[in-house]
Chain A
Amino acid sequence: RKEVEQDPGPFNVPEGATVAFNCTYSNSASQSFFWYRQDCRKEPKLLMSVYSSGNEDGRFTAQLNRASQYISLLIRDSKLSDSATYLCVVNSPDYKLSFGAGTTVTVRA
């Protein structure tokens, strides 16, 4: 089983729509979770950390479900500029960060 798994998508949504997707992780001892965003042919950039209680940053909401070992990202009121690949990143207890292969989101006008 892969350490971090993501639905590759693509998720094609119209502007203004809400899109959500999950990421599952295999190591129940994982402590830190992040979402990164990667635009086409660019480097990944930190979008947000994911806290146990869930957190929101503008139109983006991240949730953590430890019991089922997944994190989620929800994007409200999608913008064209939200089109990107979203990478799920999970730590392991020995401080190694494991990356998912990414979920591609395409927002259309």
Chain B
Amino acid sequence: ETGVTQTPRHLVMGMTNKKSLKCEQHLGHNAMYWYKQSAKKPLELMFVYSLEERVENNSVPSRFSPECPNSSHLFLHLHTLQPEDSALYLCASSQEQGANSPLHFGNGTRLTVT
């Protein structure tokens, strides 16, 4: 059983839709992350939250909007996406934001933009 839960597992949306990805961690961690994984490419860090404050925004387009209402929940709001945004979106958490804190990943949302 994973300590990090993501919903939905799969999402198909049109370019004009608005949808949200949800992530919840049950590990008592202080840092949460959104990553994008495209085929054959390394994971790309999108956003980092530490103690509910955004500490990293890796030049992500504004059509992706994160929200962290508390230390256990993280959302990624999506609107007017492009087909190239189709990918696996992974949420992760770690005890602290730091290199020595291993990441615990959720099972991901596989997004298809049509």
Q: Is B8 an interface residue (CB 8 A)?
A: no
Q: Is A31 an interface residue (CB 8 A)?
A: yes
Given A4-B42, A8-B40, A101-B42, answer yes or no on A43-B106 (Cβ-Cβ < 8 Å): yes
What's the count of A-B pairs with C-beta under 8 Å? 49
Q: Give chain B nearest CB distance to A29 CB in angstroms.
A: 11
On whether the beta carbons of A99 and B43 are closer than 8 Å, the reply is yes
Total residues of chain A contacting the partner, CB 8 A = 25
On whether the beta carbons of A42 and B42 are closer than 8 Å, the reply is no
Q: Give chain A nearest CB distance to B56 CB in angstroms.
A: 8
Q: Give chain A nearest CB distance to B21 CB in angstroms.
A: 14
Q: Is B59 an interface residue (CB 8 A)?
A: no
Given A43-B90, A46-B103, answer yes or no on A95-B42 (Cβ-Cβ < 8 Å): no
Determine the distance from Cα of A41 to Cα of B107 in the docked complex, in whole angstroms: 9
Question: Which positions 23-59 of chain A face chain B at CB distance < 8 Å?
Answer: 31-32, 34, 36, 41-46, 49
Determine the distance from Cα of A43 to Cα of B88 in the docked complex, in whole angstroms: 9
On whether the beta carbons of A45 and B105 are closer than 8 Å, the reply is yes
User: What sequence of 0s and 1s flags, for each residue 93-104 of chain A, a beta carbon within 8 Å of any chain B beta carbon?
Assistant: 001111111100
On whether the beta carbons of A44 and B41 are closer than 8 Å, the reply is no
Q: Is B69 an interface residue (CB 8 A)?
A: no
Q: 28 A-B pairs, CB-CB below 8 angstroms? A: A2-B42, A31-B99, A31-B100, A34-B102, A36-B103, A42-B107, A42-B108, A43-B2, A43-B105, A43-B106, A43-B107, A43-B108, A44-B90, A46-B103, A87-B42, A91-B99, A91-B100, A95-B97, A95-B98, A95-B99, A96-B56, A96-B99, A97-B45, A97-B99, A98-B42, A100-B42, A101-B40, A102-B42
